[in-house]
Amino acid sequence: MVLWYHNKAESEGEYMPKILVVDDIPAIVEFSKEFFEDAGFEVRTADTAPGAIDAQREFKADAILQDLNIPGGGGVFVYETLRAQNDLVPIIFSTGKPETLGDISRMINVSALRKPTDPEVLMAEVRRQIAKTSSERPMNPNPPPPPKLPPGR
C-alpha cells in the first residue's frame, strides 16, 4: 500500500520529501534506504563525512539522518560544515550514545535518537523535522504567468 502511494506521487508529479542517510554500516544504510523509499521519500546515501557534505550540496535533502561516528570527520563535522555554508537542513543524529553530542539545544535544527530506534519513532521524528522547516520553503516557487486578457479589455 505504501509503495502505491510512492508510485502515485511520482506519477502525479507530487513533491517527494528528500532524505540523506549517512552511516558507515551497510546494513543500516540499506534498511534505511528501503524504509524511506517505501514511505514515499527520495533517498540518497553516504558513508563518510565528506561524502555526506558532497551529497547534500548536490541533492539538497529536506532532512539528514546520520550516525554520529562516521569516517572522515564524524557527524558533528558534517553539521558544522553545512551550517558554515548556511545550509540549515534538519539533522537527526542516530547514535548509540546521544549523550556524547553534548547540549544539542545549542545546535540549529538538530535532534538525536538512540540506536536501535523504533521505525515508527524514526519516521515520526523525520516528519516532525521536515514539517518544522517546510514553512520556510515556498509552496510553488515558479507560479505560472497570469492569463492574458483579450485585446480591448
CATH classification of the domain holding 11? 3.40.50.2300
pLDDT of residue 91: 97
pTM: 0.79
pLDDT tens, position by position, 40-50: 999 999 999 99
Q: Domain span at residue 48? A: 2-134
pLDDT tens, position by position, 69-124: 999 999 999 999 999 999 999 999 999 888 888 888 899 999 999 999 999 999 99
Residue 149 lies in a domain: no
Residue 95 lies in a domain: yes
pLDDT tens, position by position, 113-138: 999 999 999 999 999 999 988 765 54
Domain count within the chain: 1
C-alpha cell at 61: 535533502
What is the chain's alpha carbon radius of gyration, rounded to the nearest angstrom?
18
Share of the chain above pLDDT 70, in %: 79
Give the residue-averaged pLDDT of 28-38.
96
**CA–CA dist 136, 134 (Å, integer):** 5
